[in-house]
Structure 1
Amino acid sequence: MELVLSSVIAAIFIFLALLHFFWLFGGQWGMNAAVPTDLNGRRIFNPSRLGTLLVAIGLLIFAWVNLCATGVLKISMDPKYIRYGMYMVSAVFFLRFIGDMKFVGIFKKYRKTPFALRDTYFYSPLCLFLSLSNGFLSLVL
Structure 2
Amino acid sequence: MEFILSIVIANIFILLALLHLFWVIGGQWGISATIPTDLNGRRLFNPGWQGTLLVAIGLLFFALINLSAIGVVKVPFENHYVLYGMYVISGIFFLRFIGDLKYVGIFKKYRQSVFASRDTYIYSPLSLFLSLSNGILAVLL
TM-score normalized with structure 1 length: 0.98
What letter matches 2:25 in structure 1? F
Q: Deviations over 1:53-93 (max 9, x none)?
A: 10000000000000000111123421110000000000000
5+ unaligned residues in a row in structure 2: which ranges? none
Aligned match of 1:113 = 113
Aligned match of 1:77 = 77
* Cα separation, 1, equivalents of 2:53 and 2:75: 25
* Cα separation, 1, equivalents of 2:75 and 2:16: 24
- Which segments of structure 1 move beyond 3 Å, counting only runs of 4 or more? none
Aligned length: 141
Aligned match of 1:54 = 54
TM-score normalized with structure 2 length: 0.98
SS in 2 for 1:43: coil
5+ unaligned residues in a row in structure 1: which ranges? none
Identity of aligned residues (%): 67
* Cα separation, 2, equivalents of 1:85 and 1:139: 12
* Cα separation, 2, equivalents of 1:124 and 1:130: 10
Map 1:1-141; keep pairs closer than 5 Å.
1-141=1-141
* Cα separation, 2, equivalents of 1:84 and 1:100: 25
CA root-mean-square deviation: 0.7
